[in-house]
């Protein structure tokens, strides 16, 4: 069972209403009743949601399911690193690289 905080629960509920094909007007087609996942505030109970719907939101999926997830040092978002040294998410990586190269070239010009 995956535990959720308030912000994660809001994202999960929004994702269910928008993307889950089994959820129609807040009711689960498979259960013929109210969607269990929309009722719960602190856990994820629906296996279909975990396997099929949650991977559509990569940040939330990395935050909740990935054991290798790291937090970006710039923006604080969770991401799954491609190698063990990666410190920044895909959005912040080009910016940090540009900043690093700018400082490197500045120091190199000072040496001459």
pLDDT single digits (tens) 57-111: 888 887 787 677 788 899 988 888 888 899 998 999 999 999 999 999 999 998 8
Round to whole Å and give the CA distance between 16 and 3: 16
Q: What is the pLDDT of residue 1?
A: 59
Max intra-chain CA distance, the chain: 75
DSSP 79: E
**Region 20-45: what's the mean pLDDT?**
79
d(CA 14, CA 49): 12
Q: What pTM was computed for the model?
A: 0.58
- 3-state SS class at 13: helix
């Amino acid at each position: 069972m995956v535990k959720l905080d308030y912000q994660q629960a809001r994202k999960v509920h929004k994702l269910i209403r928008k993307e889950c094909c089994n959820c129609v007007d807040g009711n689960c087609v498979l259960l013929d009743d109210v969607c269990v996942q929309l009722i719960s505030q602190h856990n994820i109970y629906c296996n279909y949601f975990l396997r099929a719907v949650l991977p559509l939101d990569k940040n939330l999926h990395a935050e909740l399911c990935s054991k290798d997830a790291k937090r970006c040092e710039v923006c604080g978002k969770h991401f799954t690193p491609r190698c063990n040294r990666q410190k920044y998410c895909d959005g912040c990586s080009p910016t940090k690289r540009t900043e690093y190269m700018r400082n490197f070239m500045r120091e190199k010009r000072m040496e001459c």
